[in-house]
Amino acid sequence: MARTFVVGGRIVVIASAVALAGCGTTAGGKGAAAGLGSTATRGVSSTTYIAALQGGVIGGLGDLDIGTSDRQRALEAEYRALEAAPGGQPVTWNGRGVSGSVVAAAPYQVGSQNCRQYSHTVTIKSQAKTARGAACRNPDGSWTPLT
């Protein structure tokens, strides 16, 4: 199953099961993030990928007063930013009285894993809070936060 999102003014289609092809660059900065190609994997749902984020960097913002569906939107945005957004391009999300923006930096290598630093700004009632962190991509396509 594929999902379509707008990332930095571009339409991005993300399959629910994708994996990195390796670290590299994209021609002219167009398309998906540098080093983030896709290869289909079988038997893993997007819910598994999002769960692997272990609450994402928004977990570091303390007890946010947002509902379960808004938290899910926030984690999906983190996953999309890590997986496919070009470095520096925001992935935005909107919920009920809350919104957010996730910006991932260019990928880098740690051993054999591709990793990215990223920030997530959550705005509730006109008050913005930002959390920063990094995550590395696992062979199954999930991302694990660095601690």
CA atoms of 90 and 119, how far apart (whole Å): 10
Residue 10 burial by Cβ neighbours in a 10 Å radius (0-12, 13-18, 19+): middle
Contact 140, 44 (CB under 8 A): yes
Q: How many structural domains is the chain composed of?
A: 1
- Residue 41: predicted pLDDT: 42
Q: Which residues of the chain fall short of a pLDDT of 70?
A: 1-46
CA atoms of 126 and 37, how far apart (whole Å): 36
- Residue 59: predicted pLDDT: 79
- Residue 1: predicted pLDDT: 37
- Residue 46: predicted pLDDT: 64
- Residue 45: predicted pLDDT: 59
CA atoms of 116 and 133, how far apart (whole Å): 9
Q: Can you give the residue range of the structural domain that contains 41? A: 2-145
Give, for 5, the enclosing helix (H) or strand (E): strand 2-7
- Residue 63: predicted pLDDT: 75
- The CA-CA-CA angle for residues 45, 97, 59, to 5°, reads 50
